C-alpha cells in the first residue's frame, strides 16, 4: 500500500545518527520537523559498532547500523552464503560481473552498468554475492579485463595483489545491495554513492519510490580522496569508475533529486539527471535558535565551527591566520568542533603546522560545544575554509547570529552568502588573509554585513521552509507510484569471448595463464 508520505526509510552513509556534522544536523531537523512521519534509519557505517551520538525522537521507529566492513550482512544462512556458485548460476554471475567491470573501465563500451548491478543485487539479496565476488573465477575475470589491449590499465601492469585489493574494496562497497527497505516506504538517500544502493535495488525489484538528496558532491569528494590513497592506479581506476557509474545511475533512476543548492543542480544535470526531476530545496535554520550574537569579543578573534576533517582544509585557515597575525599580533583563532574517529592524525598535523608557523599560542582547538551559537559569538569574523561543501549549516548559522563571514567559494557558499560576506578562492591562504585583515580593520562594515546576513537567513533560509518542502515531496512520491512486480532479468550476452576458466590459473606476475 502507498505510504501517503508517512513512512520514510532514510539512507545515510557515515553520518546520522552516528556522527555530528552538517548532514547529520539536516537529517535530525527533517526527522524532528515531521513528527507525523514514521522514519526508519538505515545507516551505512564502518564496523557497525559505532555509538549513536544523536538522541533519536520517538517517530524513528527503527534504526539499523549496516556495516560495510566486518562480517557480511544478509538474509541467507551462513552455510548457503559460503557455497560457491556452480554451472549456469556461475556463468550468469560471471557474465554480469564482466559486463559491470567493462562498464567501469571502458566508459565507451556498450556495457550497461545498471544491468550488471541489478544481477549482483539479486545475488546479494540471497546472501551469496560476497562468496561469488571473492571466488577465483571472479578474480581471473578481473585480471583478464584489466589487461585487455585497448584499456589503459594494461600499461600499469596490474598484479594479483592489485586484483585482491580491488576485489576487497568492491565487495565491501557492494554490501548495501543486500539491505532491504520496508514495504510502503519512500526510500530517501541523503547522499549519492553507496547510500543509493538499497534504494536502487528496492526501486528495481519492488517499485519503491527513490528520493535522492545531495549536500556535498559525493563523486567529486571521492576523486579528491583517492588522490592520496596508497593503492596503485589499476585499483583506483576500478573504484573511481565504480563511483562514477553508480553516481550516474542514481541521477538517472531517482524519481526526484533535491539538491540543496544550484551548484549541485548544475553538477547533477551534467551527470545525466533529467532536469524535470530536479528540485532545489535549500537547507534552513531556526533564527530563534541562532539569535543575534551581540557584541564582538574584546580580543579580535577568528572563529570556525565544524568537524575537524581534511575536507574542511584547516591547513589553509591556519596559514591565513599566521599571515594575519603578522599584522595583528593580538588576533586569535578558535576552532570549535569534534575530531571524528580516524581523523586524529589530521589534528596532529594541524598542531604541528601551527608550531612550524610560530602561532601555537594563538590557536586553540576547543572540541565539540553543546552551545553552538556561542561558538559563532566567540568570533569577530566567522571563517569557512572548505574545499568541498553543499550548503553549509555552519555558514547560515553564523549568518543567523549576525556575524560577518569569510568563506571559500565552493558548493552553494556563494548562494548562501550573497552580498552579506566575503567569498574567496579555496586553498589560497594569502587571499583569505587579505580579506580577513581588511574586514577586521573596518568595524562598521563588519556590523553592516552581520545585520544583512541575519536578514538574508530570515528571508530565504528558514527551517520551516525547508521541512515543509520535504513534507510535500514525501506525499508526492508516495502517491505517484505503487509497488510493481519485479521485471524479468534478461541474461547478458558479451561479444568478447570469456577466458577458459576450467583450466586457467593465475601465475606470478598477475596475468592469466
Q: Cα 283 to the chain's mean position, in Å?
A: 16
Report the pLDDT averaged over residues 152-168: 95
| Residues 311 and 455 grouped into a single domain | yes
Q: Are residues 248 and 148 in the same domain?
A: no
Give residue 229's pLDDT.
Answer: 82
Quote the DSSP letter at residue 497: P
Residues 251 and 380 in one domain: no
Beta bridge partners of 382: 303, 405
DSSP three-state, residue 260: coil
Q: Identify whether residues 98 and 135 lie together within a single domain.
A: yes
| 502 part of a folded domain | no
Q: What is the CATH number of the domain that holds 233?
A: 3.40.50.2000
**Res 5: pLDDT:** 66
Q: What is the pLDDT of residues 203-222, one digit of tens each?
A: 999 999 999 999 888 888 89
Average pLDDT (439-465) is: 97
Same domain for 248 and 118: no
* 367 and 230 in a common domain: no
Same domain for 278 and 323?
no
Among 271-280, 298-307, 419-428, 498-507, which stretch is predicted with the lowest mean pLDDT?
Answer: 498-507
pLDDT of 81: 56
pLDDT per residue as tens digits for the range 62-109: 999 999 987 665 554 455 556 889 999 999 999 999 999 999 999 888
Q: Is residue 258 part of a domain?
A: yes
| Residue 316 resides in a domain | yes
| 504 is a domain residue | no
Claim to verify: residue 186 and residue 111 sit in the same structural domain:
no
Q: Is residue 492 one of the residues assigned to a domain?
A: no
Q: Does 94 share its domain with 57?
A: no
Q: Residue 445 is part of which domain span?
A: 301-461
Confidence at residue 82, expressed as pLDDT on a 0 to 100 scale = 64
Is 403 within a domain? yes
Strands 256-257 and 301-305: unpaired
CA 202 – CA 352 distance, rounded (Å): 48
Both 84 and 148 in one domain: the answer is yes
User: Are 450 and 331 within one domain?
Assistant: yes
- Whole-prediction pTM: 0.82
For 41, phi then psi, to 5°, come to -110, 120
- How many structural domains does the chain have? 3
Q: What does the alpha-carbon distance between residue 121 and residue 195 come to, in Å, rounded to a whole number? A: 14
Mean pLDDT of the chain, nearest integer: 90
Q: Do 219 and 125 fall into the same domain?
A: no
Radius of gyration of the chain (CA): 25
Amino acid at each position: 500500500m502507498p505510504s501517503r508520505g508517512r513512512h520514510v526509510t532514510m539512507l545515510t552513509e557515515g553520518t546520522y545518527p552516528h556522527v555530528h556534522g552538517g548532514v547529520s544536523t539536516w537529517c535530525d531537523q527533517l526527522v524532528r520537523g515531521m513528527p507525523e512521519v514514521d522514519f526508519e534509519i538505515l545507516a551505512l557505517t564502518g564496523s557497525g559498532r559505532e555509538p549513536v551520538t544523536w538522541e533519536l525522537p520517538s517517530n524513528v521507529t527503527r534504526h539499523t547500523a549496516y556495516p560495510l566492513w566486518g562480517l557480511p550482512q544478509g538474509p541467507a544462512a551462513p552455510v548457503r552464503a559460503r557455497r560457491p556458485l556452480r554451472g549456469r548460476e556461475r556463468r550468469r554471475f560471471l557474465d554480469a560481473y564482466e559486463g559491470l567491470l567493462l562498464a567501469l573501465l571502458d566508459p565507451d563500451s556498450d556495457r550497461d552498468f545498471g544491468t550488471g548491478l541489478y544481477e549482483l543485487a539479486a545475488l546479494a539479496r540471497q546472501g551469496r554475492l560476497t562468496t561469488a565476488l571473492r571466488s577465483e573465477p571472479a578474480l581471473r575475470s578481473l585480471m583478464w579485463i584489466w589487461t585487455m589491449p585497448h584499456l589503459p590499465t594494461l600499461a600499469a601492469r596490474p598484479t594479483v595483489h592489485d586484483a585482491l585489493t580491488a576485489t576487497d574494496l568492491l565487495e565491501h562497497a557492494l554490501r548495501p545491495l543486500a539491505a532491504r527497505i520496508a514495504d510502503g516506504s519512500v526510500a530517501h538517500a541523503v547522499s549519492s554513492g553507496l547510500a543509493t544502493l538499497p534504494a536502487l535495488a528496492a526501486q528495481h525489484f519492488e517499485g519503491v519510490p527513490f528520493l535522492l538528496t545531495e549536500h556535498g558532491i559525493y563523486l567529486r569528494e571521492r576523486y579528491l580522496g583517492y588522490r592520496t590513497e596508497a593503492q596503485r592506479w589499476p585499483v583506483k581506476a576500478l573504484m573511481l569508475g565504480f563511483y562514477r557509474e553508480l553516481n550516474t545511475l542514481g541521477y538517472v533512476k531517482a524519481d526526484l533529486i533535491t539538491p540543496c543548492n544550484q551548484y549541485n543542480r548544475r553538477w547533477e544535470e551534467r551527470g545525466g539527471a533529467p532536469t524535470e526531476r530536479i528540485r532545489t530545496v535549500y537547507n534552513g535554520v531556526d533564527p530563534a535558535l541562532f539569535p543575534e550574537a551581540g557584541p564582538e569579543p574584546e580580543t579580535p578573534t577568528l572563529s570556525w565551527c565544524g568537524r575537524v576533517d581534511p575536507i574542511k582544509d584547516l591547513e589553509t585557515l591556519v596559514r591565513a591566520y599566521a599571515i594575519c597575525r603578522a599584522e595583528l599580533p593580538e588576533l586569535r583563532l578558535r576552532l570549535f568542533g569534534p575530531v571524528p574517529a580516524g581523523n586524529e592524525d589530521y589534528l596532529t598535523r594541524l598542531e604541528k603546522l601551527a608550531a612550524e608557523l610560530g602561532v601555537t599560542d594563538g590557536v586553540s582547538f576547543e572540541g565539540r560545544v553543546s552551545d553552538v551559537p556561542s561558538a559563532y559569538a566567540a568570533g569577530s569574523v566567522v571563517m569557512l575554509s572548505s574545499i568541498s561543501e553543499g550548503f553549509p549549516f555552519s555558514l547560515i548559522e553564523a549568518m543567523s547570529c549576525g556575524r560577518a563571514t569569510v568563506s571559500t567559494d565552493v558548493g552553494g557558499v556563494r548562494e548562501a552568502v550573497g552580498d552579506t560576506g566575503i567569498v574567496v578562492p579555496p586553498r589560497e591562504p594569502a587571499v583569505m588573509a587579505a580579506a580577513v585583515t581588511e574586514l577586521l580593520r573596518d568595524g562598521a562594515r563588519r556590523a553592516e554585513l552581520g545585520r544583512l546576513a541575519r536578514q538574508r537567513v530570515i528571508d530565504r533560509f528558514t527551517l520551516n521552509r525547508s521541512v515543509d518542502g520535504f513534507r510535500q515531496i514525501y506525499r508526492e512520491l508516495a502517491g505517484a507510484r505503487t509497488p510493481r512486480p519485479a521485471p524479468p532479468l534478461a541474461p547478458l550476452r558479451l561479444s568478447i569471448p570469456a577466458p577458459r576458466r576450467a583450466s586457467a590459473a593465475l601465475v606470478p606476475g598477475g596475468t592469466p595463464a
